Structure 1
Amino acid sequence: MTTVAESPTELPLGLILAIAAASGATAAWWPQVAYRLAVAQGESPRTACSVCGTPFTVGWRGWFQLAASCCASPDHRWIVGLLAAITGAALCWRTADTSGGRAVLLAGWLLLVQAGILLSLIDLAVRRLPTRLVGALAAIVIVCAGFAAWLEDRPQLLLATMAGGLVVGTLYLLLALLTPSQVGMGDVRLAATLGAALAASGWQAVALSLMLPYLLAFPFAVAQVRHRTAQAGHLPFGPFLVAGAVLAYLLTPG
């Protein structure tokens, strides 16, 4: 008996544009959330503007809406939203086949981009990556990989995800032990999570993600040293880890 292969399921252009728009609209709110979470380790999230003292609205609205008189209203929301929209469209375009578990992996990457933007904004502001947020992202990656593996009856997909996180996490842990002033434990946890997500797509993407963050960070590190900024020895590495992982995923075949 001949088995008919399952035909690829491609995303229509209209759905790609809708996903891109939703990604951009969602990410546009993250600067406000990041402002409240960008506090020193051990401190509670901000309940009022640190500049003008305007209190934030109590409840969930206070996380996404500032008072009109507050001077801390983020003026770069549209840039963040545009970047997320372009990235969302690129992820959809890269995923030529959304049949089986690949649609689940695509959803996982769209969520990863959103979480990565939030983590990057916090890291840029206070040079730290909150453990709870990174842990939540890791849980999303594992759940998506497990669900995709179940849909495709490919347990090796989940095993590859776990192995990718272990390998990349171990490498960055060694870097953190050798250069503690350059790589923090938050970077280690985030790198392991991104490595796990990439391993589901293949080890070529994992290998590329080990190089790209440093290539992206190099010009900024040089500029920081040349201008001798106050924090020249501590470049926030989270944004480069996220950008490098997304680029590695986009540049490797699906």
Structure 2
Amino acid sequence: MTTLQPLLPLLTGASALLGLLVGSFLNVVVHRVPAGASVVSPPSACPACGHAIRRRDNVPVLSWLLLRGRCRDCSAPISARYPLVELATAVLFGVAAVLAVTATSDRASQSTAAQVVLLVALLWAMGMSVALTLIDTDTHTLPNGVVYPSAVVLAVLLALVSALDGDWGALGRAAIGAAVLGIAYLALALAVPGGMGLGDVKLAVVLGLVLAYLGWGPLAVGAFGAFVVGGTVALALLVSGRARWRGGLPFGPSMLVGAWLGIAFGDGLWTGYLRVLGVA
């Protein structure tokens, strides 16, 4: 097996650079998808004066700095959120690359092509995570326009990894994980009306697919981690007086953070847990 480990610095840097570009696009997605608008047309324009944004003013982070956070035509302020999202996406794409290479380096018989496709799948999952976290925070929704395409793309990419690797067991495990996590969230949504939305249920299916493909450990830790993160955030907001007990906090961001904790630490934590139980 040829591992991508020696290429880790290059892949991390390239993924971070890609993240800058994707982050710029995600700003458009976060703004337009909840409104039901196209993400490709019309071209981006200043909301204050309506002037189309020039290409030279659309370079991630750099353009905002050169313009000093203001529109070139009308001097209206441009939110610092735009470059922050671009920078955050760059960092998170670099993290996703490290996690992808780490995950594949521990798997015997995985081909280089399969490792690259899995890297692409995790980068897509990270882009989805950034977009849905921002949208759910802003609007308390998880739009089908992001969730459905992500489900299809990730399913196809993971199936391709299995085809390149001959590891169809992982794909079967992914299907089981998607079903189990989706059914669990559906049961919660039905048992506690208003506690979970159908958007959470749909996202659970997508996350279950990815987590279970990587292993039962990532699935278990990712699923449990969502409630740990959600509970911690809710408690912090309640203590600080920024939320009420029935304030309707969005749960999607907690699900996504929990999933990435599962991807990063799931195998190790799950193995340690089984050893404590004396079954590993």
The TM-score bracket by the shorter chain reads 0.7 to 0.9
Q: Please give the alpha-carbon distance, in whole angstroms, between the structure 2 residues aligned to 1:83 and 1:217.
A: 21
Q: Deviations over 1:138-193 (max 9, x none)?
A: 01111011101110112222211111100110111111111221210001100110
Q: Which stretches in structure 2 are left out of the alignment for 5+ residues?
A: 61-69, 106-110, 269-280
* Alignment check: 8 A CA contact 2:220 2:266 kept: no
Match of 2:204 in 1: 191
Quick check: 222-231 or 236-245, which moved more?
222-231
- Aligned counterpart, 1:122: 135
Q: 1:90: which partner in 2?
A: 95
Checking the alignment, whether the CA contact within 8 Å between 1:161 and 1:199 is kept in structure 2 is yes
One-letter code of the match for 2:250? Answer: P
Distance apart, 1:120 and its partner CA: 1.4
CA offset at residue 31 of structure 1?
Answer: 2.6
Alignment of 1:156-171 (within 5 A): 156-171=169-184
Q: Which has the higher helix share?
A: 2
* Contact 1:19–1:88 (Cα < 8 Å) also in 2: yes
Q: 1:173 to 1:86 in 2, by over 3 A?
A: same
Aligned equivalent of 1:8: 3
Asked if the contact 2:22/2:86 (under 8 Å) is kept, the reply is: yes
Displaced runs of 4+ in structure 1, greater than 6 A?
63-67
**Does 1:175 pair with 2:188?**
yes
Shift of 1:11: 4.9
TM-score relative to the length of structure 2: 0.74
Structure 2 residue 250 is matched with structure 1 residue 245: no
> Is the CA contact (8 Å cut-off) linking 2:20 and 2:86 kept in structure 1?
yes
Shift of 1:137: 0.6
Partner Cα distance (1:215, 1:127) in 2 = 20
Of the candidates 228, 234, 241, which is equivalent to residue 248 of structure 2? 234
Distance 1:112 1:70 in 2: 36
Q: 1:186 to 1:55 in 2, by over 3 A?
A: farther
2-side partners of 1:191 and 1:72: how far apart?
A: 38
- Residue 271 of structure 2 is matched in structure 1 by none
Q: Which amino acid aligns with 1:22?
A: L
1:125-144 matches, cutoff 5 A: 125-144=138-157
Per the alignment, do residues 56 and 194 of structure 1 end up closer, same or farther by CA in structure 2, a change over 3 Å counting?
Answer: farther
1:188–1:71 Cα change, 3 Å: farther
Q: What corresponds to 2:277 in structure 1? A: none
* Cα distance in 1, alignment partners of residues 196 and 59 from structure 2: 31
Shift of 1:77: 2.5
- Provide Cα deviations, 1:71-90, integer angstroms capped at 9, x if missing partner: 58432223323322222222
In 2, the alpha carbon distance for the partners of 1:67 and 1:187 equals 37
RMSD: 3.3
C-alpha distance in structure 1 between counterparts of 2:114 and 2:51, whole Å: 41
Counterpart-to-counterpart distance in 2, 1:72 and 1:107: 35
Cα separation, 2, equivalents of 1:93 and 1:158 = 22
| 1:3 alignment counterpart | none
